[in-house]
Amino acid sequence: MAPYLRPRRLRENAVIRRMVRQTRLSADQLIYPMFVVEGQGVREEIGAMPAQYRFSVDSFAEELRSVRDAGIPAVILFGIPASEAKDSVGSASYDPNGVVCRALRSARKEVPEILLLADVCLCEYTDHGHCGIPVQDPDGRFRIDNDSSLQILAKAAVAYAEAGAHIVAPSDMMDGRVAAIREALDEKKMETVPILSYAAKYASAYYGPFREAAESAPKFGDRKSYQMDPANAREALQEVAIDLEEGADMVMVKPALPYLDIIRQVRDMVDVPLAAYNVSGEYSALCAAFEKGWLNRPATIRETLLSIHRAGADLILTYFAKEAAEMIRKGEM
């Protein structure tokens, strides 16, 4: 007996498939991560991240123009100060003449159409590579002190907003940092600057290439005492709820692909904009497979980003943003 119900009828040709497609990604949903370093004329490829670069401030604007011309509306900046500027408390993070602040001012002047997000964390700016300030317990062991880190993070967020960041994005995972940043911004009459909180940030193995790119690997221990346990899902919802209560305007799940279930659960829980970070390890692993010829690059990028959006992410931070924007322009996404 022939089947009466035939879902394949709506898959018969490309036009029908496009017309009934349930998930559509726009270039307006893409955020491109960028790395800025000290120096002059720097455009240095990152070894673990093919086709991704570190830029000095003077080279940064040219790359921003290419991002704008691709139709990508926003970038998020990660700063890498000179090694001699790093110290135990990450004071370079809030230096108004630091690399990120200079890059923000340059971007505002040279490419004013681009929306600028500034990552707020201490790992790139400390000589120990942790996201907060370490203290030594009486038994000689080091731990990351939560409350003493909040003031530094708040100062950094204010410095970035004053330099021109449209949005600040704390990624440190210290308890209470959203409230501290919101209070500090409001005190400076910058109550209109939104906070995109890395609310559910896991202690992931997928961050390896980023740590090379940002020169931010911890010199001792790991980040498991402040980033989330990959085994936990309900805890992510708690973290999101706390950050929203403290004043976050948008929230993020990081990484994206191993945590599509978390993206879905957060989407079902909240009505605020939800971002997901398609992180360096996800990017580099796929690039390695592309190089080997094991995966088709355009088809895999399309499927990867659609899966993140389908799970519930409104915004996607991805190193594939330029390629994705081109595919969207051609109607291939």
- Look up the pTM and report it: 0.95
Specify whether the CB–CB gap between 126 and 88 falls below 8 A.
yes
For the CA atoms of the chain, what is the radius of gyration? Answer: 20
User: Which tens digits make up the pLDDT trace of 26-50?
Assistant: 999 999 999 999 999 999 999 999 9
Helix axes 297-311, 321-329, angle to 10 degrees: 90
Catalytic residue, candidates 86, 219, 224, 254: 254
Instruction: Please report where in the chains the tokens 């496009």 appear, as a residue.
Output: 18
In a 13 Å sphere around the CA of 155, the CA atoms on its Cβ side amount to 15
Instruction: Output the pLDDT for position 214.
Output: 67
Specify whether the CB–CB gap between 142 and 101 falls below 8 A.
no
DSSP string, 187-256: HTT-TT--BEEEEEEB--GGGHHHHHHHT---SSS-STTTSBPTT-SHHHHHHHHHHHHHT-SEEEEESS
222 — pLDDT class (breaks 50, 70, 90): confident
Specify whether the CB–CB gap between 195 and 170 falls below 8 A.
yes
Instruction: Output the pLDDT for position 224.
Output: 86
- Computed over every residue of the chain, the mean pLDDT equals 94
Instruction: Output the pLDDT for position 129.
Output: 81
User: Which tens digits make up the pLDDT trace of 178-204?
Assistant: 999 999 999 999 999 999 999 999 999
155 is catalytic: no
* Stretch among 138-142, 178-182, 261-265, 306-310 having the lowest mean pLDDT: 138-142
Reported residue count of the chain is 333
Instruction: Output the pLDDT for position 99.
Output: 95
Is 24-329 a CATH 2.40.160.50 domain? no
Instruction: Output the pLDDT for position 93.
Output: 94
130 — pLDDT class (breaks 50, 70, 90): confident
Burial class (CB in 10 A: 0-12, 13-18, 19+), 241: middle
Catalytic residue, candidates 86, 155, 201, 322: 201
Extended strands (E) in the chain: 30-37, 43-46, 49-56, 74-80, 115-120, 133-136, 142-145, 167-170, 196-201, 250-254, 274-278, 315-318
Calculate what percentage of the chain has a pLDDT beyond 90: 83
254 is catalytic: yes
User: Which tens digits make up the pLDDT trace of 136-190?
Assistant: 887 778 788 999 999 999 999 999 999 999 999 999 999 999 999 999 999 999 9
User: Which tens digits make up the pLDDT trace of 76-124?
Assistant: 999 999 888 889 899 999 999 999 999 999 999 999 999 999 999 998 8
Domain borders along the chain are 24-329
Top pLDDT among 306 and 218 is at: 306
Q: State the amino acid at position 150 in one-letter form.
A: L
Instruction: Output the pLDDT for position 103.
Output: 97
Instruction: Output the pLDDT for position 54.
Output: 95
What does the block give as tokens for 139?
A: 């038994």
